Amino acid sequence: MVLTTRNGTAYQGSLHGGPRAAGAILVVGAFFTGPMALNVFQRQRAKRMGMAFSQNALADRETGRQLDDGTEQDIYRILRMPYLEA
């Protein structure tokens, strides 16, 4: 499967978490093309908030339940970070 961001960046991979993993793949996928510091910051922020953030989902650490709706915007909302449109 190939996911393409609005600015044309394409990420190829499989959706182990199903279609709702798309947002996580796009946000975490930025690790490969974007600033590593941002990826580390997001993961640490999620951890401090009691969540786990991977390429599959933003999830509750205790239950493993996915918290995001599969979009980048929702992940940023849950992490209380501004989402900037490209």
Task: For residue range 16-57, list pLDDT tens digits in order.
Answer: 555 566 566 656 555 455 677 888 899 999 999 999 998 888
Q: CA–CA separation, 61 vs 3, rounded Å? A: 26
Please count the structural domains in the chain. Answer: 1
Percent of the chain having pLDDT more than 90? 41
Q: Within a domain: residue 84?
A: no
Helix (H, G, I), strand (E, B) or coil at 60: strand
The pLDDT, as a whole number, for residue 18 is 59
User: Which pLDDT band holds residue 1 (cuts at 50, 70, 90)?
Assistant: very low
CATH (domain of 31): 3.30.210
Q: Within a domain: residue 57?
A: yes
Predicted TM-score (pTM) of this structure: 0.65
Q: CA–CA separation, 3 vs 44, rounded Å? A: 25
